[in-house]
Amino acid sequence: MEPAQDQYVISNNSPLTKPALVIPPPVVSPVTPVSIPPKKSKIGVIIGGVFFAILLLLVSAALVSVYARVDLPFVSPQTRQQLVLFTSKIPLIPKTPEQILLAAADSNSKLISYTPEFSVSASLGGTAVNAGSLDFKLVGPVDFTNNQLTFDLAADIGVNVAGTLYQGKGQVRQVGKTVYAKIDTVSDSVISLIGSFGRYFGGIATSTPSSQVEIKANLEKAFVNWLVYDTSGIESEARKKLDANVQNKSLIDSSRKNTQDFLLNKQVLPEVKLEKNETIEGTNTYHLHVTPSKETLKKLMLELTPADRRLDKNLPQQIDSVVAGVDTIVLDAWFGVKDTILRRMSIQTQINLETMAQAYSRSLDSKYGSYDPSSYLKSLGGQKLSLSTVLTLRDIGKPVQVSAPTQTQTPVQYLQMIQDATKTQDQKDAEAKAKQYQDDFRLLSTALLKYYVAKTIYPEKLDLLKGSYLPATDTVWTRVNTYAYKTRASGKKYVVYIEYASTTSNYGGYTPFYGVSSESTYPHQLTQRDFD
């Protein structure tokens, strides 16, 4: 059978022949499936819209509550505070004083360590001359790690009275349960004041320049010591709970909290203004300023008055009188922009004492009668009391290392050491002499009484007391010849004495003689009656 035309066959016995025609299969292109979108659900769109509207409404209500200070219904004060704190963390929106203060209260509660500088200045006087002034400064690191208070503070105090400045410097530390205190220096005016208190002792002046120099040298030797006081008590659950709230022991921490609480008070907060940001100790800060009005002060005083006192019908008038005397109160506070930690606070106050006294007198009820408890304020004659307080916090979060001093004394030892240092050597010798006289006269008085009980008469001479009534070897016999002894002829009265003025009083019947008598058997400055 012959092959079809145009087909080739490969044969083993013949050369390449024409192959058969092969038709390739057709190429089929892939078909892309068409996506048909599902039909939109009207219910889902409605639910999403309602949810978004509710969320927008809640955010708007929160912002209105925060920025317009509108109280939302069914929202507690605590919940509102949380809203304020939440909105304060939203970036790029302006901050209100309330947001800053609440954020500060939240941040400051976590403070562990810082270095405060706390200062108070006060002055009392008129427009030209100050009658007196006070300056106090406290600075040093404070640490609350593990709920354990540790600090190392340096104190400086000065009091100006009638143009004389009395100044002193000292330190106070706490390490664990132990408190240490130390006086560093006192001014010469303080030493002079010490001398004037004990101007004479045994007839020796202690306010002379030479005595002041001696006392100053004595004090400098005493001031190298620290007073040590252990505050730990018996270990108990009650003690642990009491010690847990250690932050309340800090004057600095209390001042910081009181300032923030005052600014957050509902009577004061509406008047708090946010001023231009300032840099404090290298930190960008918010500056809050408030000058409370007199009406605000009245409301605040009434709010802080105990409930039982509010029943007093004179209370409103008395509050008015106190506020009338307040010329100014200005409070400024600076909080870190990033951490809202209080960096500085300042309070300035001026009080017109005479105005306050006059207004208070008018508010008194007749039950006071003729007594006016504000009379001493009137006597100041227009004097004003000015007060300024500044607190600055530095080195926040830095570690604090406080070591216990080595040269320490117990409170009793320390006070005795200071007392001894305020005396000259002449005073100490005079005290020793006075004590010797007291011991001798007590011994003689007892011996004379024993002799009288045995003989019903006092001895003619002190020598008769030897042996039976006084030991013959007693040291009193080395001085007995310096003591004068007198007795009546009847032997029923006696007086034994020495010329020694142990007091500065030369009136009231006292004589320059010291000793005992049958009328008064304890050693004392004798009177004429003792000799009668």
pLDDT score recorded for residue 131: 77
pLDDT score recorded for residue 8: 41
pLDDT score recorded for residue 5: 46
23 pLDDT more than 60: no
**Which tops the pLDDT comparison, 310 or 274?**
274
pLDDT score recorded for residue 253: 73
DSSP 160-171: EETTEEEEEEEE
Which candidate, 250, 111, 249, 178, places its Cα nearest to that of 403? 178
Model confidence band, residue 478 (pLDDT cutoffs 50, 70, 90): confident
175 pLDDT more than 60: yes
Strand boundaries in 304-415, DSSP class E: 326-336, 342-352, 384-394, 408-409
Percent of the chain with pLDDT over 90: 29
**Which tops the pLDDT comparison, 207 or 400?**
400
pLDDT digits (tens, 9 = 90+) for 90-119: 776 778 888 888 888 777 667 888 999 999
pLDDT score recorded for residue 279: 94
CA 343 to mean position of chain CA atoms: 18
What gap in Å lies between CA 498 and CA 519, rounded to an integer? 17
pLDDT score recorded for residue 4: 47
**Mean of the per-residue pLDDT values of the chain:** 78
Helix 411-421 vs helix 209-222: crossing angle, to nearest 10: 160
Coil/strand/helix, residue 236: coil
**pTM for the whole structure:** 0.69
**Which tops the pLDDT comparison, 445 or 304?**
445
pLDDT (average), residues 372-396: 76
Counting every residue written for the chain, the total comes to 532
Tokens, residue 286: 């918010």
Lowest mean pLDDT among 261-265, 369-373, 433-437: 369-373
Percent of the chain with pLDDT over 70: 70
Tokens, residue 119: 């200062």
| Range among 245-259, 386-400, 506-520 rated most confident | 386-400
Residue type, 324: A
pLDDT digits (tens, 9 = 90+) for 266-295: 888 889 999 999 999 899 999 999 999 999
Q: How far is CA 429 from CA 198, 220, 434, 436, in A?
A: 15, 21, 9, 11
CA 432 to mean position of chain CA atoms: 42
Which candidate, 231, 265, 65, 239, places its Cα nearest to that of 151? 231
